[in-house]
Amino acid sequence: MSIRHVHAGQVLLGEAGDELRAVLGSCVALTLWHPVRRIGAMCHVLLPRRGTVRREPADSDARFAEDALRLMVGRLREVGVEPGACVCKLFGGASVFASEAMNTGRDNVRAIKALLGRAGVELVSEHVEGTGHRVIRFVVETGDVWVSHRRRPVLLHRRQDAGA
């Protein structure tokens, strides 16, 4: 099995034999999987929107929700897969900051859901929001997505050297 990591701002296309992985905090990962063709895509979204400074979207920049979904749809269509025929799952969007006023995770989830609704893509499963971080493993052959979720931050102490 080929393990491929999907980093923030990336969209990767996979086929049977691939496992796509992402580590998420406030970021979200969206998976689209075609059950007959056994082809899937995963994006790793960093922010809900580009912000006040508008620029033309880059062909490989999936940091923002709208660009990520556009890139996923384009890549799937290049291989003859229509997104509406895919199984869609959403993950991540945790609250990682102390302030509720700035909840990027929640905003990421809302942005992706709104875009999916406009695109006519049905979300069949989600594991979103809350706290902590998630590790996502998307097995493209089966369409299964495994989630490891650590809800509490882990505090690591610096080792005390003897005699210091």
Whether 43 is catalytic: no
Q: Does residue 64 contact residue 44 with C-beta atoms inside 8 Å?
A: no
Give me 152's structure tokens: 């509490």
Three-state SS for 42-89 is EEEECECCCCCCCCCCCCCCECEHHHHHHHHHHHHHHCCCCHHHCEEE
Residue 123 β-bridge partners: 88
Of the candidates 27, 43, 86, 88, the residue annotated as catalytic is: 27
Catalytic residues: 27
